[in-house]
Homo-oligomer: A and B are copies of this chain.
């Protein structure tokens, strides 16, 4: 009651027009439930959708507790904002991996530090950034009908405009069981444009103009799901805040080929075009999955990445990163006005895949796994990437210790 009063007061200060653009801040009211064996059924029954954060045990660790507090705040803000949603009741809950073993087991929670979304009879895992904005945006997508009916040229253009995710499109005369899951058209002209036969479903990898016809029509739902699961590691994929940890965990032999390119920058755009061309050529290769990161999506990480990898992210970069120790090696591009050709990039990727280019081969490298001290790792990075700019380094930076 008290917290609410404060909010009303705060709103009084602003005029209506300004309020329309005021990004909400947490009002202090508790909305996130701590789920226990006793209350979880009652709580979950109250909501159409339940968002559960399955978190680590906190115990005595001060930092872990502080971390959880920040995460809880993000969930509280999300819950507060979604309170205003008119057509769905969305609840939020916490399950502690140690204290609430029974609840976790009953709900089928498996991966700690993940968020599980219970909607209808489905459970969707969220393994992205724990920030209110990102989570709330993801929830809108969860609520939304994933199927679009493509009726005209403009809608078709809109369909082609979605390049960052896997998409399926079919040509059906009647709504059948599959049309619950797949964007489709009933118009033969559109089907012709999509090069679809009746009852056929096409599969588009991210960033690919040409689809693959899923073999074996007519399909059952299970057959389609199998096909998608078999093909869910695309040749080129974008790191997105709402699925970043999930994507990052899906490395290939402990490594990621990472490309940094800012789409809204002409050089970044140019590099991305070359990248798509190379991906198109290699789309049949199951051992290749290039991770594209647009620095614009992760502004707070840019200086840290520049420092760790010893690269300048104001122009495009491509490299190989060892996911365990963050060692990395980057393609040399001498001049941002002079991008590699698709062919040069293809050869470079080939050399990565056969192991000729390897982040762990870097000669000045000591391969120590001791990661307790930030300093030693920082030096390791620095040694690899001595830059001209180092000339004017700060006094508080650590000297290299050559061992």
Q: Is the interface of A mostly helix, strand, loop or mixed?
A: helix
Say yes or no: B324 contacts A17, CB within 8 Å.
yes
Q: How far is the CB of A378 from chain B (nearest CB, A)?
A: 10
Within 8 A of B (CB), among A258-313: 263-270, 273-274, 295-296, 298-308
Would you call A85 an interface residue if the criterion is a C-beta within 8 Å of the partner chain's C-beta atoms? Answer: yes
Residues of B within 8 A of A337 (CB): 149, 151
Would you call A377 an interface residue if the criterion is a C-beta within 8 Å of the partner chain's C-beta atoms? Answer: yes
Say yes or no: A303 contacts B84, CB within 8 Å.
yes
Q: How far is the CB of A62 from chain B (nearest CB, A)?
A: 8
- Bound-state CA distance A208–B342 (Å) is 31
Say yes or no: B373 contacts A8, CB within 8 Å.
yes
Say yes or no: A86 contacts B387, CB within 8 Å.
yes
**A304's contact among B8, B84, B140, B154, by CB below 8 Å, is which?**
B84
Would you call A12 an interface residue if the criterion is a C-beta within 8 Å of the partner chain's C-beta atoms? Answer: yes
A86-B307, A270-B154 known; A16+B81 contact, CB < 8 A: no
Say yes or no: A150 contacts B17, CB within 8 Å.
no
A151-B337, A337-B149 known; A85+B24 contact, CB < 8 A: no
Residues of B within 8 A of A263 (CB): 161
Say yes or no: A23 contacts B129, CB within 8 Å.
yes
Within 8 A of B (CB), among A116-134: 129, 131-134
Interface membership of chain A positions 159-173, coded 1 if the CB is closer than 8 angstroms to chain B and 0 otherwise: 101100000000000
Residues of B within 8 A of A148 (CB): 266-267
- Bound-state CA distance A189–B67 (Å) is 56
Chain A interfacial residues counted at CB < 8 A: 96
Residues of B within 8 A of A345 (CB): none
Say yes or no: B10 contacts A63, CB within 8 Å.
yes
Would you call A106 an interface residue if the criterion is a C-beta within 8 Å of the partner chain's C-beta atoms? Answer: no
Residues of B within 8 A of A232 (CB): none
Q: How far is the CB of A14 from chain B (nearest CB, A)?
A: 9
Say yes or no: B132 contacts A300, CB within 8 Å.
yes
Would you call A395 an interface residue if the criterion is a C-beta within 8 Å of the partner chain's C-beta atoms? Answer: no
Would you call A157 an interface residue if the criterion is a C-beta within 8 Å of the partner chain's C-beta atoms? Answer: yes
Q: Smallest CB-CB separation from A303: which chain B residue?
A: B84
Q: Smallest CB-CB separation from A270: which chain B residue?
A: B154
Say yes or no: A20 contacts B129, CB within 8 Å.
no
A12-B372, A267-B158, A299-B136 known; A326+B17 contact, CB < 8 A: yes
Would you call A51 an interface residue if the criterion is a C-beta within 8 Å of the partner chain's C-beta atoms? Answer: no
**A159's contact among B137, B266, B373, by CB below 8 Å, is which?**
B266
Q: Smallest CB-CB separation from A183: which chain B residue?
A: B266
Residues of B within 8 A of A7 (CB): 374
Say yes or no: A158 contacts B266, CB within 8 Å.
yes
Within 8 A of B (CB), among A40-76: 62-64, 67, 70
Known A86-B306, A144-B314; 11 more pairs at CB < 8 Å:
A15-B324, A21-B244, A23-B300, A81-B300, A86-B387, A134-B299, A154-B274, A157-B270, A158-B268, A162-B264, A162-B266
> Which residues of A are interface residues toward B (Cβ below 8 A)?
6-13, 15-21, 23-25, 62-64, 67, 70, 77, 81-87, 129, 131-134, 136-137, 140, 143-144, 148-152, 154-155, 157-159, 161-162, 183, 244-245, 248, 263-270, 273-274, 295-296, 298-308, 314, 321-326, 337, 339, 371-374, 377, 387, 389
8 nearest A-B pairs in the assembled complex, by CB-CB distance: A158-B269, A158-B266, A84-B303, A17-B323, A137-B299, A16-B326, A154-B270, A136-B299
